[in-house]
Structure 1
Amino acid sequence: MQHNKVTNLRLACAQVDGLVIRPGETFSFNKVVGNATRRKGYVKGMRLSNGQAKPGIGGGICQLANLLHWMVLHSPLTVTQRSTHSFDPFPDNGRVLPWGVGCSIVYNYVDLQFRNDTDQTFQLRVDVGDRYLEGEILADVPVASSYRVFAKEERFLRVGADYFRRNEIWRTVIDRRTGTAVRDELIRENVALVKYLPVDVPVLDVLL
């Protein structure tokens, strides 16, 4: 499944790489990448669906949506549509990004969309490197701010026999000229059913 995921990501990246987003334009993952079908060369990769990880045609391209969302959170672009998975499938072993910044993509009704509300033009660059999925956002002129994205209020809850995970995703906007933090922005509050047994973490029992 991992090998097939690379194949799928290469196909999806080819549709996104080099795309220009001008002032007032909106990027739609489903519109740009389209339906991941066998006819287009997509193969079975691991997909997260209905609370389970299972093989499916085009599986793995959500990882590209995850990367794009992470990049956009570090830019002046405005996220206008984004859905997350309703469950947390795996423990945090090796996690490099905060839990809760990923995306769910289901053609053609669950999408990632972001809009350029600035007077600048941006370009998306994405590729599958030797070991990692790689990407960057280029701008035609220097941007005024940089961004730091982080999670807080991480907690696990036990409700009956089920476990849930909650956190908040925040963003600090920083003046690039002075390096001063301008403001903190709450991006999203996450909650999801946990599909593994949390170990070595505090769990709060919730009584109904």
Structure 2
Amino acid sequence: MRRPFVLFAIGVLALALGALAPQAALAHERRTVAGYTFIAGFMNEPALAYYPNALDLRVQDAGGQPVTGLEQTLRAEVIVGGGAQRRELELEPAFNQPGRYFGYFIPTLPGDYTFRIYGQVGGQQVDESFTSGPGRFSAAEDPAELQFPRQMPTTIDLQQSLAERGQGSSNDGLVALALGIGAAALAVASVDAGLRVRDAMQRRGS
């Protein structure tokens, strides 16, 4: 029960953050695979480390029509460190957008990411890897470079600080949990406030 809820929460945050971003063309890699067009990249770009995001995959047939039902026949992985670390992503069809699929996760390191997509499309075996880079899609950026006027500590920074204050302290786990809950609440509040501002601006412009 816990994993579906976590994926749902990450998905809601990722979609909300995407709604706040300027509606510019996303940098995705496009290639032909077994007669189909695959378009892959991050859902939210520029991608920021420590913020909810997702693999954004779109598949079209030779006539440019969206291919549906691929969540049943395709699998996906996110890979970092040249293959040193990988995690399977659960592909979910995008609501009211046929042929588009999301695989939600939170990138926790700045740098390049690879999305591996494998399985079957139209009865044909496929196994393709899409890696961030120039002319493809953006790498995950360190959010500290964009924060102003103060930089917010990451969860890794907080964990290191707790470890330095006391090895094995029974209170550390409670403090870490409280910090995590506080950070999540702040993120949700920020997204909600941003959506309210955006809606107000849209009403004023209409």
* TM-score, length basis structure 2: 0.29
Higher strand share: 1
Higher helix share: 2
Please identify the structure whose Cα radius of gyration is greater: 2
